[in-house]
Amino acid sequence: MSSYHPPLRPTPANAWEAVRAHVIPAHPSAIGAMSSRDLAFPLAADALQALVRAALDEDQAQHDVSTLATVQEELKVRGAIMARRDGVIAGAAFAEAAFRLLDPNVVVRIDAADGTAVSAGSIVMHVSGHARALLSAERVALNFMQHLSGIATLTAAFVKQINGTSANILDTRKTLPGWRALQKYAVRAGGGVNHRMNLGDAVLIKDNHLAAINGNVAAAVARARALTAAGTPIQIECDTLEQVALALAAGADSILLDNMSLVQLRDAVVRCRGRAITEASGGVSLDTVRSIAETGVDRISIGALTHSAPALDLALDFEDL
């Protein structure tokens, strides 16, 4: 086995400025364009290790009484992380870091890199090292990988459903606090596209914003233009076709079509063509997403990608000694 090192990229202090340019570029025709092609790992090496070390400390991995009581100190083993269900992998670097923090000499070979589709029974990663270290790091390694791979897998399922249409699958800001960059990375691993990374990336005027100014769409857009940098995208949430007409008249770059029927979506797409990006949101499931995409919308945003994705079933199995 050859040693594997994850492609960790240092993150400069202004890294998110660069990310913003990819998440929602200034030109309205490309709003929300950080896709699976941009699969750079989002954490610097020290940040990755700190996160994994905190998880190992939480699990008291250095005081694993079950392993200390049953496994000889010098015993070495070989094993593999296996997929027990079909899915898409994300988070392999976390698993390697967990093993390496407890056994610096562990040998790791990754057979399924992030973004790779795997079938049940496939080997994702080979490991060889001290048995105590591998056993004590096992749960932390799998927790990271199962969660992120679950997001990638669910995203890939939605992407597959709309294959052949012009729509893209987007995530939202409905992410675990502190985990947004990682969960959005997993969405990209599954073939999805990232919506804005944070509140500063773009203007999204929602129903409560409009309620605060008596529903004045024109005033909302005008204020947004005046207060933000030139080229900042402005999106308005609309739940009626009348609101769509007002948003277009006000010069919005993108229209968020919230919980609209298929008939309404088709009408909105016709109205917005050549004038604004269209994004469908609300009531999106694997059963409905194809019909929504076939209305001609440009984007479909789905909060469930990050807040409700089930973990992908992965397991670490040792070879017989």
Q: How far apart are CA 181 and CA 306, in angstroms?
A: 11
Q: Are residues 147 and 49 in the same domain?
A: yes
Asked whether residue 275 is assigned to any structural domain, the reply reads yes
Asked whether residue 303 is assigned to any structural domain, the reply reads yes
Asked whether residue 10 is assigned to any structural domain, the reply reads no
Q: Are residues 109 and 55 in the same domain?
A: yes
Give the CATH number of the domain where residue 210 resides.
Answer: 3.20.20.70
Paired residues of 300 in beta bridges: 169, 280
Q: Are residues 224 and 195 in the same domain?
A: yes
Q: Determine how many CB atoms are found less than 10 A away from the CB of residue 219.
A: 13
Q: Are residues 175 and 155 in the same domain?
A: no
Residue 321: per-residue pLDDT: 60
Asked whether residue 7 is assigned to any structural domain, the reply reads no
Amino acid at 175: T
Q: Are residues 138 and 181 in the same domain?
A: no
The tens digit of pLDDT for each residue in 249-261 reads 999 999 999 999 9
Q: How far apart are CA 193 and CA 32, in angstroms?
A: 7
Q: Are residues 218 and 244 in the same domain?
A: yes
Q: Are residues 222 and 139 in the same domain?
A: no
**pTM (global) more than 0.85:** yes
The tens digit of pLDDT for each residue in 87-134 reads 999 999 999 999 999 999 999 999 999 999 999 999 999 999 999 999
Which residues have C-beta within 8 Å of that of residue 281, sequence separation ≥ 6? 172, 256, 257, 258, 259, 300, 301, 302
Q: Determine how many CB atoms are found less than 10 A away from the CB of residue 47.
A: 14
Asked whether residue 8 is assigned to any structural domain, the reply reads no
Asked whether residue 3 is assigned to any structural domain, the reply reads no
Which candidate, 142, 141, 138, places its Cα nearest to that of 130? Answer: 138
Residue 320: per-residue pLDDT: 75
Asked whether residue 68 is assigned to any structural domain, the reply reads yes
Full domain range(s) for residue 53: 15-159+310-318
Q: Are residues 22 and 151 in the same domain?
A: yes
Residue 36: per-residue pLDDT: 54
Residues involved in catalysis: 139, 174, 206, 237, 258
Domain count, the chain: 2
Q: Given the structure tokens 């807040």, which residue do they identify?
A: 307
Q: Are residues 196 and 263 in the same domain?
A: yes
Residue 34: per-residue pLDDT: 63
Give the CATH number of the domain where residue 42 resides.
Answer: 3.90.1170.20
Q: Are strands 314-318 and 203-205 parallel, antiparallel or unpaired?
A: unpaired
Asked whether residue 43 is assigned to any structural domain, the reply reads yes
The residue ranges of the chain whose pLDDT is under 50 are 1-32
Q: Are residues 48 and 140 in the same domain?
A: yes
Q: Are residues 213 and 228 in the same domain?
A: yes
**Long-range contacts, 274-283 (Cβ 8 Å, 24+):** 275/248, 276/28, 276/247, 276/248, 276/252, 277/28, 277/29, 277/31, 277/235, 277/253, 278/254, 279/32, 279/170, 279/235, 279/254, 279/255, 281/172, 281/256, 281/257, 282/258, 283/259
Q: Are residues 108 and 207 in the same domain?
A: no
Q: Are strands 299-301 and 168-170 parallel, antiparallel or unpaired?
A: parallel
